[in-house]
Amino acid sequence: MITTLANSLVAAFNRAQPGSLPAMFLSIQLGTLIRQGFHFAIRGVTPAVDPYGAASNSSIVLPDDAKAASISTAYARAGSGTLGPLAVAAAGSAPSAGQVAVAANGNILFNAADAWTSVDVEYRPEIQDTVEATLPCASGVVTLPAGLINPSGAAAGYAVTLMEAQRADTSTAQLIVDKPAATNSTTGTANLDFAKTHVLLDSADGATSVRVKLGIKSAVDLNALLEAPSTFI
């Protein structure tokens, strides 16, 4: 049987002493919890071009603080494809006609040939914070500094999602974000490596500087906070 500590934050919330609630809400970053901790439904949206998404697809571009982790259901109301429920394809894959997927950059992806003009999607947001930086690139490799992807100072390697990548040298080209992979030999694209400690470009592109926007491990570990001993009454 699983038990909860009598002095845990869970127990403190269950007691709900009014004087403690403001500080408790601050400790769990209530606004972020509401934004990322619930299942959301978006209705009647028209997909559009995502400059960081594949040209053969159209997207619902989500806010930085509410990128998708998974899709529960999707339904096409209007467009050129077959209307009705859409099949959920594997995250990071290119959806075929009649499918929907979570894009590598956390947006919601459709096949452009369906030309939807109204879709409903129910999805769960990714729990992550957002950071952005312009970093050097050598031979197609951008090394993510430990202080960028894990500002708390613990062990490096807590990048979650590559949201955007854009050259910042002689070119300002926006790069198509692909799913994590060991290498990258596709011109005009960028992806995290499997360890999520580097952003990889095609070395033939010759990029020397790249602006990256990343989702990183949330600074608030809600699971640990709720279960750990608490000083709240």
92 touches 104 (CB < 8 A): yes
Q: Report d(CA 207, CA 227) in Å as an integer.
A: 46
Tell me what pLDDT residue 38 has: 74
Write the burial class of residue 182 (CB in 10 Å: 0-12 exposed, 13-18 middle, 19+ buried).
Answer: exposed
Contacts of 210 (CB under 8 A, 6+ apart): 134, 135, 137, 142, 165, 166, 167, 168, 175, 190, 199, 201
Tell me what pLDDT residue 143 has: 96
Contacts of 121 (CB under 8 A, 6+ apart): 41, 42, 45, 60, 71, 73, 74, 75, 100, 108
- How do residues 94-150 score in pLDDT, each as one tens digit? 999 999 999 999 999 999 999 999 999 999 999 999 999 999 999 999 999 988 888
Question: Are 100 and 163 part of one and the same domain?
Answer: no
- What is the mean pLDDT of the segment spanning 193-204? 96
Question: Are 109 and 143 part of one and the same domain?
Answer: no
53 touches 92 (CB < 8 A): no
Question: Are 205 and 135 part of one and the same domain?
Answer: yes
What letter does residue 184 receive in the DSSP assignment?
-
Tell me what pLDDT residue 154 has: 60
- Which of 34, 7, 16, 9 lies closest to 226, judged by CA? 9
Whether the per-residue pLDDT at 14 is higher than 80: the answer is no
Whether the per-residue pLDDT at 36 is higher than 70: the answer is no
Question: Are 85 and 151 part of one and the same domain?
Answer: no
User: How many domains, the chain?
Assistant: 3
188 touches 205 (CB < 8 A): yes
Task: Name the band, by pLDDT with cuts 50, 70 and 90, for residue 157.
Answer: low
Domain of 21, in residue numbers: 1-35+219-233
Question: Are 94 and 144 part of one and the same domain?
Answer: no
* Distances from the Cα of 203 to the Cα of 66, 120, 184, angstroms: 32, 39, 8
Question: Are 177 and 209 part of one and the same domain?
Answer: yes
Q: Report d(CA 23, CA 4) in Å as an integer.
A: 21
Tell me what pLDDT residue 80 has: 96
The strand pairing partners of 200, in sequence order, are 141, 191
Local structure of 11: helix, strand or coil: helix
Question: Are 69 and 45 part of one and the same domain?
Answer: yes
Tell me what pLDDT residue 71 has: 98
Whether the per-residue pLDDT at 211 is higher than 70: the answer is yes
116 touches 47 (CB < 8 A): yes
* Distances from the Cα of 143 to the Cα of 49, 139, 192, 195, 202, angstroms: 29, 11, 10, 11, 14
Which residue has 């429920």 as its token pair? 85
- What is the mean pLDDT of the segment spanning 47-62? 92
Question: Are 107 and 44 part of one and the same domain?
Answer: yes
Question: Are 133 and 211 part of one and the same domain?
Answer: yes
